[in-house]
Structure 1
């Protein structure tokens, strides 16, 4: 392999991620991945014996990329000394900004009955990244568990759910107003 050249496995994972994001799990076939990655079918199957294993690899890759991305965003927010709610909203906005993350939610929520326990666990690991970043952000603020629950519930309803359903998101000002009573 040439130095700096992506491996076929990483090319397959990237192509599959793009297809899963655009078409969902059920709408994506191995033949489409083969065409998108510009590799042979035996190459795909030698690396990923089933579509489910390919999807799980995509989830693992997405989780690792998300960790790095969200930690970087958290660092930027901490450096800018934002107030608690503004930083909280900024983290959530970043979370829902990546179509691949939203696709993971859509696939797991819509097709969970077709997934193995290992897939559900990998999705939980992806969500754990958000949880850890949010808790890291709140560490310097005094927020009880009850208030944390309310913060998450309101933010999920205002940002995550509309993003998943391609609906209009609540503005930052409106969300701040909804969240401010919690403090």
Structure 2
């Protein structure tokens, strides 16, 4: 009979279950890292595309705001133009309307005072012609009053200076509509 004597220390048996659990744990960590990297790439791509979309929307909004500013400026200009038209007096039409009763050589001066008066100096052949002219311009709705400031006899004719008071609102309505 043989007896075996083993003087070497015996190695403990390796526990395979422990190594198996560690291997599964390493595989799970590696899978998690790969999935997280894929999600990071996916979300980075989405952030980039959404950023581009936001940039496009900002550009469209900027253009829209520029158009709105242009429309607002145009509206302001239109309002200012309307205000100016309402406040202005159609001087040329007023001049023609008041002087169309004269002959070419009859009118000597025409001065618009800028407030509500016109001063006309003209030659008339007789005093009744002065009265006829005053009566003719008093028929106009926008004339408040006519004062004969001065009448001088110059040879066979008369030189008269007339101060005409105006109603500016009526002028804007009547002569302004005729000017259009």
Give the TM bin, normalised by the shorter chain.
under 0.3
Structure possessing the higher radius of gyration over alpha carbons: 2
Provide the TM-score with structure 1 as the length reference.
0.18
Hey, which of these two has a bigger chunk of helix by percent?
1
Higher RCO (CA < 8 A, seq sep 6+): 1
Q: Which has the higher strand share?
A: 2
